[in-house]
Amino acid sequence: MERPRRPVPAGYGRVDVLVLCTANRCRSPMAEALLADRLASTGVPATVTSAGMLASGVAPPTEVVAALAPYGLDISEHRSRHLEAADVEAADLVVGMARSHVRDAVVLVPGAWPRIFTLKELARRGSDAGPRRPGERLARWLARVGEERVQSELQGDADVDDVADPLGGAPEAYVATAALLEGLVDRVVALAWPAR
């Protein structure tokens, strides 16, 4: 499915985004591919990578590859990558699929807290804060988005800001996850890199 190109004016600098999930086999590679595609189609210079908390070198399930095929995205060559502190340190924005991934990243690099969110939280809080203003740096927008946010919100098992893991589910669960991620990615890109 070919996305219409939405030109973004000059002024957005290069951005490095890191996407996290547990195994780096389902949710984060799907979100990585969708986000990289969306940013490329809007003309935002970006590097989007993903990582997980488990072993490196594992291929995505065939259901994940199939779920992204309708978007014109092929991640069959993706291999899982274990999260390292250097990954978090290098990223301008870190996006977890669940609060547990945000917790893991903050434990690795506590100072990165202002730029680490779950994807759902970023879309929700970003909608409340409003889109990035002309000339506003990404870090400043993230600070507005995260105002009044406290790390204690990461405790507990509430899953309101989590994207459920489809691993082991029916093929329809992977398709539904891809659709959910596409909607969230589109919202975040429209807020963080609005066309003017």
Q: What is the pLDDT of residues 129-179, one digit of tens each?
A: 999 999 999 999 999 999 989 877 766 666 789 999 999 999 999 999 999
Is 8 or 24 the better-scoring residue by pLDDT? 24
Quote the pTM value. 0.91
Residue 171 has a pLDDT of 95
Higher pLDDT, 13 or 63: 63
Let me know: does 51 contact 83? Beta carbons within 8 Å. yes
Amino acid at 58: V
Helix axes 27-42, 171-192, angle to 10 degrees: 40
Give residue 13's pLDDT band: very low, low, confident or very high (50, 70, 90): confident
Which whole-number Å values give the CA distances from 39 to 17, 82, 123, 163, in the listed order? 11, 24, 16, 21
Strands (E), 11-75: 15-21, 46-52
**CA–CA separation, 190 vs 5, rounded Å?**
13
pLDDT of 80 reads 98
CB 95 within 8 A of CB 17: yes
- For residue 176, what pLDDT is reported? 98
DSSP 52: E
Q: Is the per-residue pLDDT at 5 higher than 50?
A: no
Q: What is the pLDDT of residue 21?
A: 97
